[in-house]
Amino acid sequence: MIEMLPLNEETMDLEIDLCLRFHPSGIVPDGKNAERGRALKKRFLRRVFDKVSPAGFVAVRGGKPVGLLELMPRAYARVSGYITGRRGHDDHTLTIACLEVAVGENRKEVMEKLVNHLTGNLRVFRPYRQIEVGAFPGDVEFHPAWVYERSGFSVVEDRGAARLLAVLIPQK
């Protein structure tokens, strides 16, 4: 059974473990680079947590991270190189930066569970007003549009190869 945990200060090591030990590419950095990456990611996440917490969700099975959905304020996502939109005010928008599934896990199942959990818990992200994601058509590895569209996201911008999808956060 998959358990969904909020991505926050207490669970950030699980998120980082997925990235460094169970990445879908199967590539695991050596000890020195892994520790450097862990320290950098912790510093960055703490900045994100100052603006939004939880900053997404970590999917866990038997204590092991099997997936993650990471959010950050649009301004942070933009300077970090993620696809961001133009609709809505930056201060009111969260961007999905990562939707990852651990190597060896059922990618579609875990992605759907994470995105469905997000859309079922939108109110925890108030006072933000929308969540956006740069997604791609087809059965691609990185941010497939179908998983977001099935969960209530709508296309708000067409960027050729990518689409910007968004879902509104209920304010009441």
Count the helix, strand and coil residues of the chain and give each as a percent rounded to the nearest 5. 35, 30, 35
Mean pLDDT computed over 100-127:
95
Q: Tell me the pLDDT band of 137, cut-offs 50, 70 and 90.
A: confident
Q: Tell me the pLDDT band of 151, cut-offs 50, 70 and 90.
A: very high
Mean pLDDT computed over 4-25:
87
Percent of the chain exceeding pLDDT 70 equals 95
Distance CA 126, CA 67 (A): 24
Q: Which amino acid is at 135?
A: A
Per residue in 51-74, pLDDT (tens digit) is 999 999 999 999 999 999 999 999
Q: Is the dihedral of CA 83, 86, 88, 90 positive or negative?
A: positive
pLDDT above 70 (res 16):
yes
How high is the pLDDT of residue 27? 67
DSSP readout, 55-115?
Answer: -EEEEEETTEEEEEEEEEEHHHHHHTT----SSS-GGGEEEEEEEEE-TTS-HHHHHHHHH
Distance CA 122, CA 71 (A): 12
Whether 3 and 60 have beta carbons less than 8 Å apart is answered as: yes
How high is the pLDDT of residue 31? 79
Beta-carbon-side half-sphere exposure of residue 133 (alpha carbons within 13 Å): 28
How high is the pLDDT of residue 20? 77
Domains of the chain, first to last = 3-168 (3.40.630.30)
